[in-house]
Amino acid sequence: MGMLLKMKGGFRIMKSKYFLVGLFFLVVTMLLASCSGENKDILKYSIVEKEDTSYLNTPRMVYRIILDVDRLPLDKEMEETAIAIWEKGNKNWEEFTVFIYLPEMDIHSLAYGVGEFRQNGLLEFKKNKYALIETKWEVTETKTIENNIQSPEAKEYKIELSAIDEGERKVKININTNFPDGTKLHIWVYRPYYEGGDLSAEYAGEFFAKDISVKNGKIELLVDIDDSGWYNEYYRKAEEYKGVIDMPGVTHTSKEIEISVLFTPKGDQPKDILETLGYNGEFIKGPGVDESGNFNTYRVSTSLAIPFQK
């Protein structure tokens, strides 16, 4: 009997040891999970507007938030914050959008960050750097004399733009320029259209919009001219905002597409490019220069006849 009790006692001791080991790993796992949550780059924010924009049978919600920050947030921080908002009771919306603004920005103007969600998670996150123009958050650095290096003198720049119809609704765009290699040029391809018979107000049906870096003094790209994309999106929005915004319908379209190439120092330009061209574009001259507020931009454009086809 004494042996049996001793064995039972030994069994109890062994069971207690396994229990403590299991408890230890459970606590460690919980701590790691807790630390992981704390490491997420979630910023403080205030929800300033919630708008149910459901249309047809599509439940859709839009949040507008203002971040509580005193510096420009990182893209990852904004993205993680948008995800945290979606996870907090908004997963049932078929479409959920978070518009992110910085303090003192107009919440009904262009948002600095946009998170688009579907029921399975984040569809797209993007940052609109142009939203900062003419706000207190705009980066307005002025080139000064540092380390005995003199500011460069203004120089004449050029952008030669041509477009070729390659057939099968594809257009080849060729750019030759003396802007320094690494300069980011914004290329925009669109078709002008008009609403409700009013030919005095022109709108843009967008095919392509992207910043592309100059390499060896050139940029070459091939763009698909698919009118169905912007055309169908127009009528989707017309239905979505029916009764809120008057969208009378596309009544006229241009027979030509427009191609625009823009340099702006307020884009995401490399530091060495800004030191050469000026943080406000003050060192660029040429026929394409345009004063935009307190800085210079450079723009050229051309058009090409491509029939409308949706």
Tally the domains of the chain: 2
Mean pLDDT of 41-61: 90
One domain, residues 173 and 128: no
pLDDT digits (tens, 9 = 90+) for 221-234: 999 999 999 999 99
Q: Give a yes or no: residue 26 inside a domain.
A: no
Q: What is the pLDDT of residue 60?
A: 93
Q: What is the pLDDT of residue 22?
A: 53
Residue 285 amino acid letter: K
Q: Give a yes or no: residue 260 inside a domain.
A: yes
Q: Between β-strands 284-285 and 256-263, what pairing exists: parallel, antiparallel or unpaired?
A: unpaired
**pLDDT surpassing 90 at residue 24:** no
**pLDDT surpassing 80 at residue 293:** no
Of residues 39 and 203, the one with the higher pLDDT is: 203
One domain, residues 123 and 213: no
> 45 - beta bridge partners?
67
Q: Give a yes or no: residue 147 inside a domain.
A: no
**pLDDT surpassing 60 at residue 164:** yes
Q: What is the pLDDT of residue 37?
A: 42
pLDDT digits (tens, 9 = 90+) for 180-198: 999 999 999 999 999 987 7
One domain, residues 126 and 65: yes
pLDDT digits (tens, 9 = 90+) for 247-274: 889 999 999 999 999 999 988 899 999 9
**pLDDT surpassing 90 at residue 154:** no
Q: What is the pLDDT of residue 15?
A: 41
Q: Give a yes or no: residue 29 inside a domain.
A: no
**pLDDT surpassing 80 at residue 31:** no
Q: Give a yes or no: residue 245 inside a domain.
A: yes
Last residue of a domain, one of 98, 132, 166: 132
One domain, residues 113 and 164: no
Cα(240)–Cα(238) distance, rounded to whole angstroms?
6
Domain with 214 in it: what CATH number?
Answer: 2.60.40
Closest CA to 269 of 290, 286, 288, 283: 283
Place of tokens 């406000």: 280
One domain, residues 298 and 189: yes
Average pLDDT in the chain: 84
Q: Which domain holds residue 81?
A: 45-132
One domain, residues 197 and 63: no
Last residue of a domain, one of 100, 132, 164: 132
Q: How far is CA 172 from CA 59, 189, 221, 296, in A?
A: 40, 11, 6, 28
Q: What is the pLDDT of residue 260?
A: 96
Q: Give a yes or no: residue 220 inside a domain.
A: yes
Cα(264)–Cα(11) distance, rounded to whole angstroms?
77
Residues 198 and 277: beta-carbon distance below 8 Å: no
Of residues 43 and 17, the one with the higher pLDDT is: 43
Cα(20)–Cα(14) distance, rounded to whole angstroms?
10
Residue spans of alpha helices (H) in 39-136: 75-87
Last residue of a domain, one of 99, 132, 165: 132
Q: Give a yes or no: residue 13 inside a domain.
A: no
Total count of residues recorded for the chain = 310
One domain, residues 289 and 159: yes
One domain, residues 174 and 125: no
Q: What is the pLDDT of residue 187?
A: 96
Q: Give a yes or no: residue 33 inside a domain.
A: no
One domain, residues 177 and 117: no
One domain, residues 80 and 221: no
**pLDDT surpassing 50 at residue 10:** no
Q: Is 11 helix (H, G, I), strand (E, B) or coil?
A: helix
pLDDT digits (tens, 9 = 90+) for 68-110: 998 888 888 999 999 999 999 999 999 999 999 999 999 988 8
One domain, residues 181 and 283: yes
Cα(207)–Cα(258) distance, rounded to whole angstroms?
10
One domain, residues 73 and 181: no
Burial of 250 (0-12, 13-18, 19+ CB in 10 A): buried
**pLDDT surpassing 90 at residue 29:** no
